[in-house]
């Protein structure tokens, strides 16, 4: 089958690799334009482009999708099917309906839960104990198309967003492969989403980084692991911002929200429900991340409270 793949970040790479390994004719890859990265502003290609170049697959990087340029590129690639995985651009109707079999999206949630840009992170922030990947026949809405196939995975209590990302990335490739196989055999049975049960996973920003210590210890813990490694959970200590990379729930009983219960060899902080978390790794401004005991040796905690 002639397939065009649309994707950009690391998350999408296993899907493109699986398309190649499954023997499909990938006639083109659409990905976002190269970006300047690092303090030296080096022009860097997206991970999906790097893989496409390795296999000599034509790469298309339109800056806009609605001015007709992208459609002409798609016509050149002439796919029967388009697979979309974390592309980062909204497809207009003329692109959605151009391929014989339309466009299928590989979305990192169990739809209709967590439609939107950041389902991996919000599944942890919201305290879900499981999530998964859903293949979906794309329509003009935001992740509203008919569901095709899905697979789920457990979210453990200590798992952070980066770890879950890697699990779902691999799972996505499996779901995609099964979906295409079922499509070829005529065995797909699309199921409409129940929009009344939908939830939203908005794009992440640094605005949501600050920890609210009034929340329960479990909610604070979920916030920390859900925002790892970007944008990261933050808190004020002695008037300075620290980034908290990892923590765990603690059996120690707390006091007031943000109060530091221990500050010698361990860093234990009370939350709004009177329970505590133990901060394991944190990072002061303009410093490297370090284990809490090392941080405490170099940064004696005089003010016994996180804000």
Q: What CATH number corresponds to the domain at position 225?
A: 3.10.25.10
Domain termination residue (choose one: 159, 178, 201): 201
Comparison of pLDDT for 255 and 135, the residue scoring more = 135
> Are both 52 and 120 inside the same structural domain?
yes
Please indicate, yes or no, whether residues 213 and 197 belong to a single structural domain of this protein.
no
Confidence of residue 296 (pLDDT cuts 50, 70, 90): confident
pLDDT digits (tens, 9 = 90+) for 174-216: 999 999 999 999 999 999 999 999 999 999 999 999 999 999 9
Sheet holding 147-154, edge to edge: 59-60, 25-30, 2-7, 81-85, 103-107, 130-137, 147-154
Q: Is residue 189 part of a domain?
A: yes
Task: Tell me the residue length of the chain.
Answer: 307
Continuous segment of H or E residues that includes residue 294 = helix 292-298
Same domain flag for 27 and 169: yes
Judge whether 304 lies within some domain: no
* Domain count across the chain: 2
Same domain, residue pair 159 and 14: yes
Reported confidence tier of residue 53, pLDDT bands at 50, 70, 90: very high
- In a shared domain, residues 138 and 278: no
pLDDT at 129: 97
* Local structure of 27: helix, strand or coil: strand
Q: How confident is the model over 202-255, as pLDDT tens digits?
A: 999 999 999 999 999 999 999 999 999 999 999 999 889 999 999 999 999 988
pLDDT of residue 303: 62
- Domain residues for the domain of 282 are 206-298
Are residues 191 and 85 both part of a single domain? yes
Identify whether 117 is part of a domain.
yes
DSSP assignment of 124-146: HHTT-SEEEEEEEE--SSSS-SP
End position of a domain, from candidates 156, 184, 201 = 201
Residues 166 and 223 grouped into a single domain: no
Per-residue pLDDT averaged across 151-161, rounded? 97
**Rounded to an integer, what distance in angstroms lies between the CA atom of residue 213 and that of residue 233?**
12
Least confident segment among 39-43, 130-134, 198-202, 299-303? 299-303
Secondary structure (DSSP) of 149-204: EEEEEE--TT--HHHHHHHHHHHHHHHHHHHHHHHHHT----B---GGG--EEPPP
Together in a domain, 107 and 241: no
Q: What is the pLDDT of residue 24?
A: 98
Distance CA 94, CA 116 (A): 22
Q: Is residue 10 part of a domain?
A: yes
Strands 240-253 and 260-262: unpaired
Residue 231: asked if its preceding bond is cis (omega within 30°), the reply is yes
Which residues, including other chains, have CB under 8 Å from residue 170's CB and lie 6 or more apart? 14
Of the residues 201, 226, 247, the one at which a domain ends: 201
Cβ contacts of 129 within 8 Å, gap of 6 or more:
154, 155
Which is it for strands 25-30 and 59-60: parallel, antiparallel or unpaired?
parallel
SS3 state at 221: helix
Q: Is the dihedral of CA 159, 160, 166, 172 positive or negative?
A: positive
The confidence score (pLDDT) of residue 264 equals 76
């Amino acid at each position: 089958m002639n397939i065009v793949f649309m994707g950009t970040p690391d998350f999408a790479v296993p899907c493109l690799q699986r398309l190649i390994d499954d023997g499909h004719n990938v006639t083109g890859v659409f990905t976002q334009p190269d970006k300047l990265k690092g303090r030296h502003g080096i022009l860097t290609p997206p991970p999906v482009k790097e893989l496409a170049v390795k296999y000599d697959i034509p790469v298309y990087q339109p800056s806009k999708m609605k001015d007709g340029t992208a459609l002409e590129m798609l016509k050149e690639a002439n796919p029967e099917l388009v697979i979309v995985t974390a592309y980062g651009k909204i497809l207009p109707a003329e692109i959605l309906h151009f391929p014989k079999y339309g466009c299928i999206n590989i979305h990192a949630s169990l739809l209709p839960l967590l439609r939107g840009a950041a389902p991996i992170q919000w599944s942890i922030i919201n305290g879900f104990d499981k999530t998964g990947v859903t293949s979906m026949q794309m329509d003009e809405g935001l992740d509203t198309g008919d569901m095709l196939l899905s697979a789920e995975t457990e979210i453990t209590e200590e798992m952070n967003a980066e770890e879950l990302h890697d699990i779902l990335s691999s799972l996505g490739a499996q779901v995609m492969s099964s979906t295409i196989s079922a499509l070829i055999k005529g065995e797909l049975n699309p199921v409409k989403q129940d929009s009344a049960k939908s939830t939203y996973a908005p794009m992440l920003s640094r605005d949501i980084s600050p920890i609210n210590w009034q929340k329960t210890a479990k909610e604070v813990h979920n916030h920390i692991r859900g925002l790892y490694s970007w944008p990261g959970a933050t808190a004020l200590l002695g008037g300075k911002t620290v980034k908290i990379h990892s923590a765990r729930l603690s059996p120690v009983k707390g006091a007031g929200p943000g109060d530091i219960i221990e500050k010698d060899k361990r860093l234990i902080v009370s939350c709004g429900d009177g329970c505590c978390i133990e901060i394991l790794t944190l990072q002061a401004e303009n410093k490297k991340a370090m284990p809490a005991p090392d941080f405490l040796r170099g940064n004696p905690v005089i003010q016994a409270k996180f804000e």
